[in-house]
């Protein structure tokens, strides 16, 4: 018998996909926990994503997959069942195949962020959170923050209506959408400020006033680079005590996906150190 044909199979779908570190992360999780599996990358085609998923799951050994940009909303429409968080943000980054033939979708992005912040001993209770950007990255973290009993979440975006639309999606009095002008004119203290944009990849800063940023306890950039991002460096110069990039979030969300598939929560420390050293 060919044992390889019986090995559980996983993959990540995206476009582009070549840059994904997910196969490396999950193979390390598998070795660490004594699991036997394969994990690959699949380049999805815009407009043909459902067909790609169906081809993948035609293999009975295909047990689940991760979804990255730009297919997370397509994945939410494809699965049979959605977790509360996936329903709340309208996006799926993890699909699980069940023994009864149904497929469930979850979004572990926000769990990964909370996991990383918790590892860094960030306190959530009664804090004010500012999310910079109103795209999919911000959408995925609102409910996980609310579950940590933060006091408020403000979402700021260049287009105010997009921030307001995202805030209204959650229909909570303590979630609001702002323009940058409104943000920089208010006197609110934000304990945790999360840059949910990719501005740092272009070495650009979001239009958050220095006065607003300087009062934060934590400035977190969802992107990651070999050195501290321009957002992290700027926050540190302003006196922000703790800054972080998003590499820990990447590993954290992967760990939560792995747990959904395999029933084991892996140790992220070794994997995070390995990735950090290889950037």
CATH of the domain at 20: 3.40.50.10860
Residue 192 has pLDDT above 90, yes or no: yes
Residues 138/156, Cβ–Cβ less than 8 Å: no
Whether residues 99 and 194 share a domain: the answer is: no
Report the residue count for the chain: 279
pLDDT > 70 fraction of the chain, expressed in percent and rounded = 98
Residue 82 lies in a domain: yes
What is the reported pTM?
A: 0.94
Q: How confident is the model at residue 2 (pLDDT cuts 50, 70, 90)?
A: very low
Distance of alpha carbon 155 from alpha carbon 148, whole angstroms:
17
Section 49-72 average pLDDT: 97
pLDDT on residue 1:
40
Catalytic residues: 72
Query: How many domains does one find in the chain?
Result: 2
Domain containing 124 equals 110-247
- Residue 16: is the preceding peptide bond cis (ω within 30°)? yes
Residue 124 has pLDDT above 50, yes or no: yes
Whether residues 125 and 47 share a domain: the answer is: no
Distance of alpha carbon 224 from alpha carbon 131, whole angstroms:
17
91: number of Cβ within 10 Å: 24
């Amino acid at each position: 018998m060919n044992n390889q044909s019986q090995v559980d199979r996983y993959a990540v779908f995206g476009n582009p996909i070549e840059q994904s570190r997910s196969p490396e992360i999950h193979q390390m999780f598998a070795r660490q926990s004594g699991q036997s599996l394969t994990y690959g990358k699949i380049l999805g085609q815009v407009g043909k994503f459902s067909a790609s998923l169906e081809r993948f799951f035609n293999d009975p050994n295909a047990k689940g997959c991760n979804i990255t940009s730009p297919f997370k909303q397509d994945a939410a429409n494809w699965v049979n069942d959605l977790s509360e968080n996936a329903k709340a943000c309208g996006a799926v980054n993890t699909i699980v195949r069940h023994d009864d033939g149904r497929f469930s979708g979850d979004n572990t992005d926000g769990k990964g962020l909370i996991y990383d912040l918790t590892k860094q001993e960030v306190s959530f209770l009664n804090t004010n959170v500012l999310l910079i950007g109103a795209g999919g990255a911000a959408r995925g973290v609102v409910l996980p923050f609310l579950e940590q009993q933060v006091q408020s979440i403000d979402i700021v975006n260049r287009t105010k209506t997009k921030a307001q639309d995202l805030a209204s999606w959650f229909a909570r009095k303590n979630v609001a959408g702002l323009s940058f002008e409104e943000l920089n004119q208010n006197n609110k203290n934000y304990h945790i400020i999360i840059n949910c944009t990719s501005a740092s990849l272009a070495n650009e800063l979001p239009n958050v006033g220095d006065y607003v940023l300087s009062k934060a306890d934590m400035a977190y950039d969802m992107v990651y680079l070999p050195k501290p991002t321009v957002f992290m460096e700027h926050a540190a110069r302003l006196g922000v005590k703790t800054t972080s990039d998003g590499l820990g979030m990447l590993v954290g969300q992967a760990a939560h996906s792995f747990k959904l598939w395999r029933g084991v929560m892996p140790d992220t420390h070794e994997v995070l150190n390995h990735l950090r050293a290889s950037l």
